[in-house]
Structure 1
Amino acid sequence: MPVATKKLRSNRAWLERHLTDRWVKLSQKEGYRARSAYKLIQINEKEHIFRPGLTVVDLGAAPGSWSQVARKLLTGRDGKLSGRIVAMDILPMDPIDGVAFLQGDFREQSVCDELARIVGDDRVDVVMSDMAPNLSGIAASDAARSMLLCELALDFALEHLKKNGFFITKAFQGSGYSQFVEAVKRSFVKVHALKPEASRDSSPEQYIVARGLK
């Protein structure tokens, strides 16, 4: 079978699955920008991470569904945002009321300087990352690129989190996964790995939730 035909069938199958996905339909109904919003909602239901008054940094935030969830969870009973949310991505992102957006690579000093300007001298309560590389289809290469993003997110969290802060990141099971989890355990008091209901059964993704810097 020609490569182009295989790719066309694969794209068509993905589109059909996407359009019939319950979480896609629910996200469209409830105004979230991506189905991934429900992964964070379900993580929070189990781990009780968010509450009004926190400072949250969302790495690789675009299109913004996790920031939308954080915005809702940091809203007090008076309907007003209590806390700060900073979304960061190299890609552009449409504005979200109450969310500061920094476009650029979070490893760059200029981006970190802007973060410091927003949050002041304070460390942050939550660092979260739903980042994933653009997949090439080459398993070893994709696994290595995914682990690099996880390691960069961990380094950022270790530099910016408060002592009792939370770190949330997506990681793909495969080469390097167990070593990354061990690295997180060396740095945090409590570490859980979970797979939210909204995560597709076919996906090897896991979400690592860590709390309390050692």
Structure 2
Amino acid sequence: MNLKTKINLGFLAMLLLLLSIGGYGYYSLRQLDRNSRDVLTANLYSVTLGQQMLRSLDELARQPLTDTVATARFAAALSKEAGNITEAGEQEVVEELGQRLRVLQQLQSAAPAPAALVAAPPAVAELRRLTYQMVEVNTAALTRKTAQANRRADEANRNLLVFLTLATLLALGLVGSVPEAAVQPLRRLTAALNHATERDFSASIPRKAPTNLGRWPGPSTAC
């Protein structure tokens, strides 16, 4: 293999390795960005809605039968949550929340009946329990997905480190081999000239270089 071919192959390998590193890094960043967006869109939004529902329940706890404004805010947040179901078991909790909300609304319509006065506080407490359960489902999903994203990030870092190590070794090999291949014909020529100077005519001067350095001037044998 001549010098030109070695140089071309070395730089081609370096180029391919650098392109691989860049492509893998871009792919890893895209994956992490997409996963982060999914978490923000799904679970974090549900947790935010759960906090809004809990604030509405805090207001309802003071006047469970007459505070229809807080009830309406709770119902609006619950409606948004119903359109953002992403986790196993979340659908069942949201459906039960809807049923309990309708019970509370019926009690508010029946106020100020004595039975409604007695049943309203437990209804609000049950809504609070279910809301906490919904928030817990999404919080656990947030924790799980964050841990998965961290593992993927660590794996991507390890793979990039491997690629960079390979690129460094290849570059060092290229730097070490190309100069050696370039000066080897010159060393042979110098050795042949030294033999000729010492009147050792058994050694010949190479007429054609074994690499792409061209032809050496002079006769094929020393005289």
Q: Give the alignment's TM-score, normalised by structure 1.
A: 0.22
1 or 2, which has the higher helix percentage? Answer: 2
Identify the structure with the greater strand proportion: 1
The TM-score normalised by the length of structure 2 is 0.22
Look at both structures and tell me which one has the larger radius of gyration over its CA atoms.
2
By relative contact order (CA 8 Å, sep 6+), the higher-ranking structure is: 2
